[in-house]
């Protein structure tokens, strides 16, 4: 049997949940960036787009609490993992949107 944490989620489900939320937050950040900053050449160079990534990274931790993940056990590695996964999915998604010139 999988070991259960205090929240009732197994360690595996905890990891899957954190990864899924981080990846979805990266995609949402890219869509928000494309919508509010744009997908032009000037928008690609804008540093304002990084604010959307930072906002979504910070917004995840209350969401994780609501879902039932105990973030008081998070160490530096966990926080870096969430930030890295969010940034990576934002970078890939926003890169595709910029390449295709999609307007939202």
- Could you read off the pLDDT of 38-71 as tens digits, one per residue? 998 888 888 999 999 999 999 999 999 999 998 8
The whole-number pLDDT of residue 80 equals: 96
> Smallest Cα–Cα separation from 29: which of 101, 95, 84, 94?
94
The whole-number pLDDT of residue 7 equals: 55
Return the number of other C-beta atoms located less than 10 Å from residue 71's C-beta. Answer: 14
Domains: count for the chain? 1
Q: Is residue 14 part of a domain?
A: no
Q: Tens digits of per-residue pLDDT, 68-79?
A: 998 888 999 999
Q: Is residue 64 part of a domain?
A: yes
Q: Is residue 60 part of a domain?
A: yes
Q: Is residue 17 part of a domain?
A: no
The whole-number pLDDT of residue 6 equals: 56
Domain boundaries, position 46: 25-100
Q: Is residue 77 part of a domain?
A: yes
Q: Where are the alpha helices (DSSP H) in the chain?
A: 11-36, 41-44, 49-67, 76-100
Q: Is residue 19 part of a domain?
A: no
Dist CA 75 CA 44 (whole Å): 33
């Amino acid at each position: 049997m999988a070991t259960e944490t205090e929240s009732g989620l197994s360690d595996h489900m905890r990891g899957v949940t954190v990864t899924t939320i981080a990846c979805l937050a990266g995609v949402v950040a890219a869509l928000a960036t494309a919508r509010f900053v744009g997908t032009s050449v000037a928008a690609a160079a804008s540093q304002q787009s990084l604010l959307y990534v930072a906002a979504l990274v910070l917004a995840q931790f209350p969401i994780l609490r609501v879902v039932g993940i105990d973030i008081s056990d998070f160490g530096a590695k966990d926080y870096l993992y969430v930030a890295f996964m969010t940034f990576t999915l934002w970078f890939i998604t926003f890169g595709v949107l910029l390449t295709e010139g999609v307007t939202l």
